[in-house]
Amino acid sequence: MSTTLNTAVRSNTVPPAQPRPGSARRAFERRLSQLTSGSWPVLAGLAAVWLFFQTQNEHFLTARNLSNLVLQIGVLGTLAIGVVLVLLVGEIDLSLGAVTGVTAGILGVLLASLHWPSGAAIFAALIVGALIGALQGGVIVYVGVPSFIVTLAGFLAWQGVQIILLGSSGELLVQDSAIRSIGSSYLTTPQSVLLGFGVIALYAFDEWRRRIRRRANGLEVDGVARSVARVGLVALAVGGLAALLTAYLGVPYILVLLVGLVAILSWVTTRTVFGRHVYAIGGNAEAARRAGIRVDRVRIGIFVLTSMLAALGGVLSAARQFAVSIGTGGGTLQLDAIAAAVIGGTSLFGGRGRVYHALLGTLVIGSVENGLDLLGQPSSTKDIATGVILVIAVSIDALAQRRRRAR
């Protein structure tokens, strides 16, 4: 009887699970896809750029040059953040450079000709930027003209307004000390230390809150060691950067402004209802509309926010150059901003990207231009290098999109 029972038990025992053929390969491909679709390729590329130029010129990674690099990318980084936002909803804005120029012109007229206080002049420039965004967004949404056409027309029109504002001289000097300090002043060492501790504490608090929310919603939570490692890496990066910049003149105001913009808009796009709607619209606008999302309002809101960032770029440009001219916002600034957003990892197809991608892409472009300047290369070489990097970034994005559709 017992022999029969043992035989029956053995026959009903579930054999140990055997790995499926090709499962290891699929796991490796999945892991490789995660690495190549995140920020790691951009960080690796940035490290390669820095290493190359450091080997060519020993002054590239000095505190002085890195401080200059931060000052150089302020305007471009601000516009790139706006490009990321508009790409997330599946649109494009080709007027940002012209909006930067015309709002800088308004700022110059208010300061130099009408002698407005600096705070009121900055506020007026930002309001004009918001109105421009609302106008262009309204035409796109309610008239149905593609954003490419509307913003291209805006690019031409606002350049004309800029020329009218600046008159025959074509330039206005900015004498206001408060405006100038934005582009040329630095935090003191105690202020830098306090700010660094504040950034680390906010990141640690955000990491803790994220763990609490995920646990409350029954989602998988990373181990404590991983969370501590992430906070440690942020602390190391913040502390190292602050120490390096303090060795020269200190942490520039522009860096504080850029990091603050990235932090605030990252929170808006990832932790608010408005941000979730932005990603939903970029992923599938019709599905978002059927789900009850007010697609038109969100799109207009994004264009308003993007143009305000362009206006802030105009303020930073005036602060950096101590003047505004008909060349402010011109050149390759618009194209470089789009390139920075895409190089950083934001998809041209909408619905995929992060605000900090703008900062990563801006660092890549700024580092290449800064390094080539140190090597004495002409501007044509910088344009060629930026174009090659952009094509590589877009190709990676297109291949990733193809893989997702295939899966």
Residue 399 is predicted with a pLDDT of 74
CA 124 vs CA 37, 107, 118: distances in Å: 40, 8, 10
DSSP string, 276-305: HHHHHHHH-HHHHHHTT--HHHHHHHHHHH
What per-residue string of b and e applies to 300-317 under the rule 16 or more CB within 10 Å gives b? bbbbbbbbbbbbbbbbbb
For a pLDDT cut of 70, what percent of the chain falls above it? 89
Asked if the model's pLDDT at residue 96 lies above 50, the reply is: yes
Comparing 247 with 406, which gets the higher pLDDT? 247
What's the CA gap between 50 and 44, in Å, rounded? Answer: 10
pLDDT of residue 26: 54
Q: What percent of the chain has pLDDT over 90?
A: 49
The dihedral built from the CA positions of residue 130, 135, 141 and 147, taken in this order, carries a sign that is negative
Q: Between 203 and 12, whose confidence is greater? A: 203
Per-residue pLDDT at 332 exceeds 70:
yes
Of residues 212 and 277, more confidently modeled: 277
Whether 337 has a pLDDT exceeding 70, the answer reads yes
